[in-house]
Amino acid sequence: MIQKILSQENFTKEDIVQLLNCSKEEQILLFEKSAKVKEKYIGNYVYLRGLIEFSNICIKNCFYCGIRKDNSKVSRYNISDEEILEATKFAYENNYGSIVLQSGELQNDTFSDRIEKLITKIKSISDNKLGITLSCGEQSEETYSRWFNAGAHRYLLRIETSNIDLYKKIHPNDDTHNWNKRLDCLISLKKIGYQTGTGIMIGLPFQTIENLADDLIFMRDFDIDMCGMGPFIEHIETPLYQYKNNLYTLEKRLNLTFRMIAILRIIMKDINIAATTALQAIDDIGREKAIRIGANILMPNITPNEFRDKYILYENKPCTNESSSDCKNCIDVRMKIAGNTIEYGKWGDSLHFQKQSE
Ligand code: 5AD
Ligand code: SF4
Ligand code: FES
């Protein structure tokens, strides 16, 4: 049955639902197709983004997240500028090509100024050679512009779900957790000229397969340049933990994530798709499988060791006891096993974005 769908140029929502619900045998065809699309349009290459989780202080209270503001069990940290620059140097010296600065959400002038200065410094110590992706939440258009002008060129802001009702169920009902505002942020980012990335969580309580199909359609219609999506993994210190018995099994969430990646690769052939860390929290070779199926971005952790076990958004997060060098040595072997080559020293911009800018 799915052969016919896979032979089409484009998919309807019903097609996507059918692909997400396909049998184990049909899944083989889906993954073969997405792997072929990847090979044809972007090649079997992986680009690195050294990930610095520089602060777990957050003003928000997302019901799923381990570092939400009201989780008093978290010991909060904010890595110094010097340490961030040290980590950046590691990425530069090891030829990673790009870094991601990620943190909990803060919205104030001190934070905006700090990030702006950091971007300028990172650009200067790396001779303008390191690409910079930001993942620092919702900000004003002015702040986004300042960061862009300082030299950041990609921004990740997950919409978390494209369905407003579901969004309301997994966030507090107040003005800081507003789906429309989040969408406005994505619109601003795109307008400013960032390569704009978004994503969702897969296997959330109350989420349906139709919701997931809509998420893919949202990404296609918004014409994103990058995507990072991963399985939802419950965290005991969060409100959504109460639904732990009503969730898909972890294996099913993992498998659905692979299917989502495969379908997204087929419908958005030349975007960047990350093999996210949450995949590895469920399956030791989850990221490698994602790379085989269609993902092309890997984000090795380069957060200084002592802070890693404090940035725990979900349970069983990998690499919390490893150092940046451990992760570096590990990924080379892993990507070889996945039949892909790491493109060291390249920015690895989204081809999708490049084509539109030409
Ligand atoms: N499980 C999986 N992903 C999570 N995130 C936050 N909490 C969880 C969780 N429990 C994801 C969100 C957020 C990103 C930084 O991490 O999608 O945007
Ligand atoms: Fe803060 Fe992001 Fe966690 Fe929400 S998901 S509580 S914004 S760190
Ligand atoms: Fe961190 Fe393997 S990627 S130890």
How far away, in angstroms, is 323 Cα from ligand 2 center?
Answer: 24
Nearest-CA residue for ligand 2 atom 2 is: 104
How far away, in angstroms, is 69 Cα from ligand 2 center?
Answer: 8
Residue 339 lies in a domain: yes
151-167 residue pLDDT tens:
999 999 999 999 999 99
306-324 residue pLDDT tens:
999 999 999 999 999 999 9
110-165 residue pLDDT tens:
999 999 999 999 999 999 999 999 999 999 999 999 999 999 999 999 999 999 99
284-313 residue pLDDT tens:
999 999 999 999 999 999 999 999 999 999
Place of tokens 């990058």: 226
What is residue 1's predicted lDDT score, i.e. its pLDDT?
83
Residue 341 lies in a domain: yes
Q: How confident is the model at residue 243 (pLDDT cuts 50, 70, 90)?
A: very high
Q: How confident is the model at residue 24 (pLDDT cuts 50, 70, 90)?
A: very high
CATH number at residue 328: 3.20.20.70
227-236 average pLDDT score? 98
Please provide the DSSP assignment of 291-352 as one string: HHHT--EE--B-S-GGGGGG--SSTT-TTSS--HHHHHHHHHHHHHHTT-EE-TT-----HH
HSE-up of 254 (CA within 13 Å, CB side)? Answer: 17
Nearest-CA residue for ligand 1 atom 7 is: 65
60 lines ligand 2 (CB under 6 A): yes
The tokens for 152 are 């950041």
What is residue 311's predicted lDDT score, i.e. its pLDDT?
96
Choice from 57, 101, 105 to test ligand 2 binding pocket (greatest atom count within 8 A of CB): 105
List the helix and strand counts (H, then E) for the chain.
14, 12
Residue 353 lies in a domain: yes
Q: How confident is the model at residue 358 (pLDDT cuts 50, 70, 90)?
A: low
Residue 258 lies in a domain: no
Contacts of 150 (CB under 8 A, 6+ apart): 116, 117, 119, 120, 123
161-212 residue pLDDT tens:
999 999 999 999 999 999 999 999 999 999 999 999 999 999 999 999 999 9
250-274 average pLDDT score? 98
Task: State the virtual CA torsion across 267, 183, 200, 316 in degrees, nearest 10.
Answer: 150
How far away, in angstroms, is 258 Cα from ligand 3 center?
Answer: 20
What is residue 274's predicted lDDT score, i.e. its pLDDT?
98
50-95 residue pLDDT tens:
999 999 999 999 999 999 999 999 999 999 999 999 999 999 999 9
Q: Does the pLDDT value for residue 27 go beyond 70?
A: yes
227 has which bridge partners? 198, 273
Other beta carbons less than 10 A from residue 165's beta carbon: 10
249-274 average pLDDT score? 98
Distance in angstroms (rounded) separating the CA atoms of residues 113 and 91: 23
Q: Is 345 left (phi over 0), alpha (psi -120 to 50) or beta?
A: left
Q: Does the pLDDT value for residue 5 go beyond 70?
A: yes
Domain of residue 173, residue span: 43-250+272-289+296-357
What is residue 215's predicted lDDT score, i.e. its pLDDT?
99
- In the sheet that holds 45-48, the strands lie side by side as 50-55, 98-103, 131-135, 154-156, 195-198, 226-227, 272-275, 297-298, 45-48, 341-342
Residue 26 lies in a domain: no
The β-bridge relationship of strands 50-55 and 297-298 is unpaired
Query: Which residues contact ligand 1 via a Cβ below 6 A?
Result: 64-65, 158, 160, 201, 230, 232-233, 235, 278, 313-314
331 lines ligand 3 (CB under 6 A): yes
CA angle 137, 139, 145 (to 5 degrees): 115
Choice from 324, 326, 335, 336 to test ligand 3 binding pocket (greatest atom count within 8 A of CB): 326
Q: Using a cut of 0.95, tell me whether the model's pTM lies above it.
A: yes
Residue 19 lies in a domain: no
Among 14-28, 254-268, 329-343, the least confident range: 329-343
HSE-up of 146 (CA within 13 Å, CB side)? Answer: 13
Q: Count structural domains, the chain.
A: 1
Q: pLDDT averaged over the chain?
A: 97
* H or E stretch covering 153: none
Choice from 327, 329, 335 to test ligand 3 binding pocket (greatest atom count within 8 A of CB): 327
Other beta carbons less than 10 A from residue 83's beta carbon: 16
How far away, in angstroms, is 106 Cα from ligand 2 center?
Answer: 10
Q: Does the pLDDT value for residue 357 go beyond 80?
A: no
What is residue 34's predicted lDDT score, i.e. its pLDDT?
98
Q: Does the pLDDT value for residue 9 go beyond 90?
A: no
Q: How confident is the model at residue 356 (pLDDT cuts 50, 70, 90)?
A: confident
Place of tokens 């929502």: 13
Distance in angstroms (rounded) separating the CA atoms of residues 12 and 10: 7
Nearest in space to 9 (alpha carbons), one of 35, 45, 33: 33
Residue 136 lies in a domain: yes
Residue 4 lies in a domain: no
- Using the atom order of ligand 2, give the atom closest to the CA of residue 104: 8
